[in-house]
Amino acid sequence: MPSMPGLLATLTEKSFGHRANVAAIEQVSPNFRRMELRVEPLKSGWKAGQDVQFRIDDNTFRHYSVMSVDDSGTTISVLFHLGVDGPGSRWAAARATGDEMIVLGMNTPEPKRPAAEHLYLGDGSAVGTVHGLAAKQNVGGTASGAVEVPAEDLEALTPLLPGIDVLPAAPIPGDAIATWLEASTPCCAAASLFGHAQSIQRQRRILLDHNTLPRKAIATKPYWATGKVGL
C-alpha cells in the first residue's frame, strides 16, 4: 500500500484493522524472523497465505502474508525477511514480545483457476506466502515450484517448504529461478509468481515461451521492484 496522509492512515486502521499483540518471536535463520500474533477474529476467518498489512510509521503500510493459523483461529504466524534494508524490515526487527499493533486483513490471493497441480515461484519476500498457499494446495492436490533465498538461510527454510525447491539466490534477483525454469519442465495446470517485479515478468515470459501454461493460468503478485523503496 502506498504512503498516505496520517489522518487517512489512522482512519484506515480504525475501519479495517484488528488489534493484535506479539505472543512470540523466533529467529528462524540469520535473515528471517517469525512472529506469532494473537489477533482479534476476522469475520471471514484468518487463512494461511492471506495478505495482511501493518502500519510501520505515521504514513506508511507494508504488505506481508499469513504463514499459518492456529486451530483456534486467533493466533497467526507471519514470517519477516530482515536481510534487506527497507522500512518494513527495520520495523519488524524492532518488534518485541508483548508489543501491540493493528493488523489489516486482506483478501487471500487465490489461484485464478483451481488446479490439481500448482506451481509457486518466489524469493525471500514470498517465503511465508508460498508456505501458506502450498500447504493448502497439498491438502487436495500437489504443490511444486522454487523459491530463491540467501545461501545462509537455505538450510533453515528448506523444511518450511515441502515440495518446493529452495535455491541459493544469485547476485542478480531472479537469476536462480530463471535458471531452474530453463532447466526443468514444470508439470502444472496453474502458477502463482510472487516477489521481485522484474523477476516475475521474466518468469512469466519463460513459462509462456515454453508453452508451459496459457496466460490466464498465471497469477502474479509483486512485493518489491528494483529502484523503488521495498520491504
Going by their DSSP bridges, the two strands 142-149 and 164-168 should be labelled as: parallel
* Rounded distance between C-alpha atoms, residue 143 and residue 230, angstroms: 28
The topology (CATH level 3) of 117-224 is Rossmann fold (3.40.50)
* Rounded distance between C-alpha atoms, residue 168 and residue 150, angstroms: 6
* Rounded distance between C-alpha atoms, residue 103 and residue 105, angstroms: 6
pLDDT in tens, the chain (231 residues): 567 888 998 998 998 899 999 999 999 999 999 999 999 998 888 999 889 999 999 999 998 999 999 999 999 999 999 988 788 999 999 999 999 999 998 655 454 455 688 999 999 999 999 999 998 888 777 889 999 999 999 999 999 999 999 999 999 999 999 999 999 877 788 999 999 999 999 999 999 988 778 899 999 999 889 887 655
Q: Are 148 and 167 in contact (CB under 8 A)?
A: yes
Burial class of 124 by CB neighbour count within 10 A (0 to 12, 13 to 18, 19+): buried
For residue 55, give the C-alpha cell.
502500519
Residues of the chain with CATH 2.40.30.10: 6-105
Q: Any idea of the CA torsion for 11, 70, 109, 3, to the nearest 10 degrees?
A: 30
Local structure of 10: helix, strand or coil = helix
What was the pLDDT predicted at 188? 84
Per the DSSP assignment, residues forming a β-bridge with 143 are 118
What was the pLDDT predicted at 111? 47
What was the pLDDT predicted at 110? 52
* Rounded distance between C-alpha atoms, residue 11 and residue 15, angstroms: 6
Residues of the chain with CATH 3.40.50.80: 117-224
The topology (CATH level 3) of 6-105 is Elongation Factor Tu (Ef-tu); domain 3 (2.40.30)
- Type of residue found at 155: E
For residue 135, give the C-alpha cell.
500447504
Q: 508456505: which residue's cell?
A: 131
Neighbours of 56 (CB within 10 A): 18
What was the pLDDT predicted at 106? 65
**Over the Cα atoms of the chain, what is R_g?**
17
